[in-house]
Structure 1
Amino acid sequence: MRVSPINPTVDFSTEGVQHGFLRLPYSRDDSAWGSIMIPVTSVKNGEGPTALLTGGNHGDEYEGPIALFDLARRLKAEEVAGRVIIVPAMNYPAFLAGTRTSPVDKGNMNRSFPGAPDGTVTQKIADYFQRTLLPLADIVLDFHSGGKTLDFLPFCAAHILPDKAQEAKAFDLVSAFGAPWSMKMLEIDAVGMYDTAAEEMGKVFITTELGGGGTATARSAGIAKAGVANVLKAAGILKGTVNVAETTWLDMPDGNCFSFAEDGGLIEPLYDLGDQVRNGDVVARIYPIGRTGSAPLEVRAKMDGILAARHFPGLVKPGDCVSVLASVVME
C-alpha cells in the first residue's frame, strides 16, 4: 500500500512539547501546490502510556476543540509520564467550515475508516490515523456532541465489547471522566467509525456527547476540560488525582431507544432532555407545513427511559432521528 501523503512537522518520538501540523498536500484552484495544515501537539516525557486526544471529527461539534486547544497550550512535559498526542480538529476542513462533513469532498470522517492513502482528502486523513497515530496510542478519547442537528444530555461513553477486559478499562475511564451522565452506548451504524478502528486494534476507546445545537456552552466546555484532565490522571499520564464527580449511568439496550421521523415538517418536542418517558408516550409531534388544518404525525417511544437526545433545530426531514431514550442503570 502507498505511503501516506501526510507529513507531520512534529516527531512523535521526541521528548518535550512540540506544536506543529499534519501537512496534507492538496492541489486546488487557489493554491496549485497547497496543503491542508491540521494542527497537532505532541507532549512526551519518558516512558509511559500514550493518549491520543481528538476533537473535530465532525466539524460542527465544539467542546472537544475548545478543551484540546486549551490543553495543548497549557500542558507541560514535566507534568506528563508518557506521551499525549492532541489533534483538536481531525476533519480540519469541516471544522473551518462549521459543517459535519468536509466541504472538500463531503467526507464524514467518522464513516471513513480505515481510509486510503490515495483516496479523497477525508480518506487520506483517516488513513493517517489508522496506520500512524492509532498504533501509537494506548488510550483514545474522541470528543463529540450533537452538532447542528442533535442535542444530548452531557455524557461520556464507551461501547459493549467482546473483549471484556478491554471493555472494563474503557468504562473505568468513562467513570474517571466524570460527566454528569455516563453511557453504555449503542451505535446505529458502526461501519467505518474511528471508534471501531481503535477498538479492533485493542485500544481503550472512550467518547462523549456533550450537548449540541452547533455550539458549546460554558457548562459543556467546562465538562470537556475537566474530563480530559481526569482521564489523563486516571491513566497515569498526568500528575495529580482524579477529581471525582457524581455521574448517573445510562444504557442504550437495543434499537428501540431510537425514534425516527417518517415524514417531514415542524417538530414539537413533548419532553425535554432528562425527562422520564414511558413506552407508548408521544415524544414529539411533527406538523405538516404545506397547509393548515392537517393533523400532526405522532412519534411514540418504544421503551421506558429518559430522553437522552433529541432532534435540533425545529424542522425535520423524513428519516431524521427525533429522539434517543436510555435506561438508568441501577447500581
Structure 2
Amino acid sequence: MREINLRPSPISSTVDFSAEGVQHGFLRLPHSRDDSAWGSVMIPVTVVKNGEGPTALLTGGNHGDEYEGPIALFDLARTLKADDVTGRVIIVPAMNYPAFLAGTRTSPIDKGNMNRSFPGAPDGTVTQKIADYFQRTLLPLAEIVLDFHSGGKTLDFLPFCAAHVLPDKAQEEKSFELVRAFGAPWSMKMLEIDAVGMYDTAAEEMGKVFITTELGGGGTATARSARIAKAGVSNVLKAAGILKGAVESGETTWLDMPDGNCFCFAENGGLVEPFVDLGDQVRSGEIVARIYPIGRTGDEPLNIRAKMDGILVARHFPGLVKSGDCVSVLATIVAA
C-alpha cells in the first residue's frame, strides 16, 4: 500500500456531501498565478442525495481531451432529481478541469496526467492536489466508481465498458456485473500496460466497485458515443439500486486483453497506413499497419504485424506517429 500524505487538502467544497437534495457547486483549489494572485481552480461538482443507500462517484475529464464522459455527466447533473435517487450520486464531469478547459490530455498548468498522479499530494502540483482530494475525500465516500474515458486526440476505440481482473474475485464479479449493466456494444476484461498511479488502481485498492470506458476517440464525441455514455450511466445507477427504473441495456460482445501481445508500438516515426479497421479480425503475423519514413522518398516502410489472433479494438488516430507510440490494440472475443 502506498504511503499517503496526511496534511490537510487545500481543496474546499461549496457543497455538503451529507446534505439531502440536489446541490451544484465547486471544488475550489487555491492557485496563485500571474493573472490572478489569489486565484482558484473551480472544479464543477454536483451531489444528489436522498435517504440511505449506496454512493456512486461518477467522473469524466480525467483526461481533458475525452468528451463522452463530460457530455453524459453535465447532462445528468442538470436532469437528475432527488426523488429519483435512493442513496447518493456525486458527479464530477471534469476531474482534471484545467486539462478539460485546454482540450489537452494533461494539465496545461503542470503537465500532470491525472490518471498517473494517484495517490496525489496535498502539497504537490495542481494535478497532485486534485488527485489527493479524490484519494482521501471522495473515493472513501463511494461504493461504486464509474470513470469515463475515450481515446482522446491520439487513439480511437471500439466503444466498450471495462473492468479489471482483480485478486479479490467477489470485487471483480461485482465490477463485471456493472459492466454488463452499462450495456456498451462491447464489454472488456481490460489489461493496463501501466497501472501505477492510476485512479482505477486507487479505487480498486480501497475495495471499490470500479468500472471505466473507452467510447471512441479522435479528440471528439459522436452522436452514437454520447448516446452510449448517457444510457450507460443511467443503467449503472439503476443496476446499483440508486436510480429508479429498469436497466435497459442491450446486447454486448465480451472481449479479453490476455497479455502484452495485445499491443503494437511504433519503433520508428512516420506516416501510418492502416491495414485493418476497428472491429476487423486479424491473424497473428498479419500486417495491421505500415509506417512510411517521411524524411525522403524511396525508403521502405516498416510493417507492424499482429502478435496474436484477435480483433482490432484500438488504433492510433492521427496520420503521423512517433517512435514509441501505440499503433494498435487487439483483443479476443470471449464468452460472457
TM-score (norm 1): 1.00
2:34 maps to 29
Does residue 40 (structure 1) correspond to residue 45 (structure 2)? The answer is yes
Aligned pair count? 331
Whether the aligned pair in 1 keeps the contact of 2:96 and 2:107 (CA below 8 Å) is: yes
Q: Which residue does 1:155 correspond to in 2?
A: 160
1:169 paired to 2:171: no
Find the counterpart in structure 2 of residue 316 from structure 1. 321
SS at match of 1:242: coil
Alignment partner of 1:246 out of 246, 251, 255: 251
| Identity over aligned pairs, percent | 87
1:278 alignment partner in structure 2: 283
**What is the aligned counterpart of 2:306 among 301, 305, 308?**
301
Partner Cα separation in structure 2 for residue 313 and residue 184 of structure 1: 26
Deviation per CA, 1:296-331: give whole Å up to 9, x if none.
Answer: 000000000000000011000000000000000035
Distance in 1 between residues matched to 2:19 and 2:137, nearest whole Å = 16
- Cα-to-partner distance string for 1:228-277 (whole Å, 9 max, x where unaligned): 00000000000000003100000000000000000000000000000000
In structure 1, C-alpha distance between the alignment counterparts of 2:32 and 2:188, rounded to whole Å: 42
> In the alignment, what sits opposite 1:215?
220
Partner of 1:13: 18
Query: What secondary structure does 1:65 align onto?
Result: helix
- How far residue 2 of structure 1 moved from its aligned partner, in angstroms, is 1.2
In structure 2, how many angstroms separate the alpha carbons of the residues matched to 1:49 and 1:29?
Answer: 43
What code does the residue aligned with 2:24 have?
Answer: H
Cα displacement (A) at 1:151: 0.1
One-letter code aligned to 2:208:
K
Deviations 1:3-24 (A, max 9, x none): 0000000000000000000000
Within 5 A, what are the aligned runs for 1:196-275?
A: 196-275=201-280
Pair 1:68 & 2:73 matched: yes
Q: How does 1:86-165 map to 2 (within 5 A)?
A: 86-165=91-170
User: Distance between the aligned counterparts of 1:37 and 1:309, measured in 2?
Assistant: 33
SS class of match (2:18): coil
1:4 aligned partner: 9
Q: Distance in 2 between matches of 1:82 and 1:235?
A: 10
Whole-Å separation in 1 of the counterparts to 2:307 and 2:236? 35
Distance 2:12 2:143 in 1: 22
Show the counterpart of 1:190. Answer: 195
Q: Deviations over 1:124-164 (max 9, x none)?
A: 00000000000000000000000000000000000000000
The match for 2:57 is 52
Q: Which amino acid aligns with 2:170?
A: A
DSSP-derived class of the 1:291 partner: coil
TM-score of the two chains, using structure 2 as the length reference:
0.98
Instruction: Give me the whole-angstrom Cα distance separating, in 1, the residues matched to 2:121 and 2:160.
Output: 32
Find the aligned partners of 1:86 and 1:313 in 2 and give their Cα distance: 31
| Partner residue in 1 for 2:184 | 179
Of residues 276, 289, 294 in structure 2, which corresponds to 1:289?
A: 294
Gaps of 5+ in 1: none
Consecutive unaligned residues of structure 2, counting only runs of 5 or more, are: 1-5
Q: Deviations over 1:174-225 (max 9, x none)?
A: 0000000000000000000000000000000000000000000000000000
Q: Secondary structure at the match of 2:132?
A: helix
Shift of 1:42: 0.2
Residue identity matched to 1:107: G
Q: Shift of residue 68 of structure 1? A: 0.1
For residue 80 of structure 1, what is the aligned residue in structure 2? 85
Partners of 1:55 and 1:74 lie apart in 2 by 17
